[in-house]
Amino acid sequence: MFKTIIGLEIHVQLLTETKAFCSCSTNHFDSEPNVHICPICTGQPGTLPVLNENSVKLAIKAGLILNGKINKVSRFDRKNYFYPDLPKGYQITQYFHPIISGGYIEIDGKKIRLRRIHLEEDTAKMLHSGDQISSAKDSLIDYNRSGIPLIEIVTEPDIETPKQARLFMEKLRNLLRYADVSTGDMENGALRCDANISVLDEKTQEISKRVEVKNINSFKFVEKALEYEEERIVEILKKGQELIQETRGWDSNKRCTFPMRTKEEEMDYRYFPEPDLPPLILNDEFIEEVKKLIPEMPEEKASRFVQQYKIPQYDAEILSSDKELANYYEKCVESAKDAKFVSNLIMTELLREMKENEDSIEKVKIKPEYFGELKELLDTNKISIKIVKDIFPEMYKTGISPKEIVKKKGLEQIENEDTLRRIIEEVLNNNPDSVEKYKNGKKKLLGFFVGEVMKKTRGKANPQKTNQIIKELLDEN
């Protein structure tokens, strides 16, 4: 038997307007290369860094929401390595004395402990041959990202399965987004994960060497990359071969990892204290000021949803699990004035469509006011709940309002009693055997007749009136 041991190192870009040690803009996602740069973030000789206070506040905020200990005294260090994306030849980080110690996130009742959270600066971005910027066989560097403030979150090796690693990442991002610490956008590199994995042979109690998988850019790929490595390492151990301690990349197209380089040891980075920055000293007043900036978090929001909207605890937990989904729900309730109606539709119809289409809430085309339109159409008996569910996929796909869809397709509910009576009489005349059985005591056949009417009217018959008229006609004789 083999046991998997996983630890994660997560780099989080902080939501500041300016960089970690200079006043350059952090808006690098939509900018031309090398426009948000200065002598400091490009590592020019003689420049001095000045610490961004907002990055400190966001690091403290992260520590508070992740149950960590805020260290009142921390220091910056230099991590030395030579690579084109690192203009100074070193990175300013916190190695010996981080700003946050400890912490945890709970996943399915298990506490995944955090070792530390520390502040550091981001590197530049390399654009290789084949990237959009160049078709030549070369590598170019965009320094817009260089110096953007990060926190690095390092877990203890408490994660036991690739799925658990994915769930951890999903919950971490949600908490960071809730607290406005980071966008958590993995596609744009605002959240980047390096995963360390080794395998314990429970029979011999021998642990394999550690393999690091670098820069995985989606939750799904975190799980897939670790599954691949888990199988690869176990296979090597079963064959009695030696596992190389190395850094590997993840190829999302081939769905496999590939070797990049042998794994560095800590001593290779030659850490030493950063001489150009003094110790970072915090007081209680500053920490309390940051604590007041923390908004309503998921557990608090779920409790409020139960009390304020009278919805089940399970619904409240799902709806509050994502910040944008929670905001969307409340906007829909404001429009429809019926929290349970909205909750039911989101929990069943909307989340199903999102899952099938692999969409996030940000991509949903159904406007919150459409829930108000649906409720109005229901309350005025213009459509039935069946029609609501029938048109929901079209609303989701097109973003067209329910009133427009109902009008265009002629889906308004049939309310006229004379019209309903004619349709019901036709159904009864076409099913004499079932009518006879009903009159002989098989009252459950009432549902059969209602279903036949609904088929004939494509779900447009008013259900209450249909039931009433069918019973009247069947009980006449």
Q: What is the pLDDT of residues 332-360, one digit of tens each?
A: 999 999 999 999 999 999 999 999 998 98
The answer on 180 and 106 residing in a single domain is yes
Q: Alpha-carbon distance 369 to 392, whole Å? A: 14
* Residues 215, 95 share a domain: yes
Cα 283 to Cα 70, 134, 279, distances in angstroms: 10, 49, 13
- Number of domains forming the structure of the chain: 3
Q: Is residue 293 part of a domain?
A: no
> What's the confidence (pLDDT) of residue 204?
87
Structure tokens at 99: 């700003």
Do 185 and 206 belong together in one domain? yes
pLDDT at 477: 56
Q: Has residue 142 been placed in a domain?
A: yes
Q: Which two tokens stand for residue 30?
A: 């939509």
CATH number of the domain enclosing 430: 1.10.10.410
DSSP H or E stretch at residue 281: strand 280-281
Q: Is the pLDDT of residue 416 over 80?
A: no
Look at residues 262, 287, 312 and tell me which one is the last residue of a structural domain: 287
Check whether 396 has a pLDDT greater than 70.
yes
Q: Is residue 149 part of a domain?
A: yes
Statement to judge: residues 119 and 37 lie in one domain? yes
Output the pLDDT for position 263: 64
For the record, the structure tokens of 130 come out as 């084949």
322 alpha carbon, distance to own chain's centre: 7
The reply to whether 124 and 215 lie within a common domain is: yes
Return the number of other C-beta atoms located less than 10 Å from residue 436's C-beta. Answer: 11
Average pLDDT for residues 168-187, to the nearest whole number? 94
Verify that 36 and 137 share a domain, yes or no: yes
- Domain annotation covers residue 94: yes
- Residue where one domain finishes, among candidates 258, 287, 316: 287
Residues 398 and 441 in one domain: no
The residue with greater pLDDT, 247 or 28, is: 247
Could you tell me if 32 and 128 lie in one domain?
Answer: yes
pLDDT at 421: 86
Higher pLDDT among residues 192 and 411, named by residue: 192
Q: Write out the residue range of the structural domain in which residue 383 sits.
A: 298-409
Give me 188's structure tokens: 């744009």
Residue 169 lies in a domain: yes
Q: Are residues 92 and 172 in the same domain?
A: yes
pLDDT of residue 110: 94
Task: Note whether 387 and 468 are same-domain residues.
Answer: no
Question: Domain for residue 292, yes or no?
Answer: no
Specify if 184 maps to a domain.
yes
Q: What is the pLDDT averaged over residues 157-178? A: 96
Residue 383: name the closest of 370, 396, 369 by CA: 370
Mark whether 154 and 250 lie in a shared domain.
yes
Nearest-angstrom CA–CA distance, 126 and 49: 23
The pLDDT of 149-158, averaged and rounded, is 98
DSSP letters spanning 312-332: -HHHHHHHTSSHHHHHHHHHH
Could you tell me which residues are beta bridge partners of residue 257? 250
Looking at the fold, whether 389 and 442 belong to one and the same domain comes out as no
In this prediction the pTM is 0.83
Taking only Cα atoms into account, the Rg of the chain, rounded to an integer number of angstroms, comes to 30
Of the chain, the end-to-end C-alpha distance in Å amounts to 74
Where residue 406 falls (left for φ over 0; alpha for ψ -120 to 50; beta otherwise) is alpha
Q: Which of 409, 430, 461 is the last residue of a domain?
A: 409
pLDDT of residue 412: 78
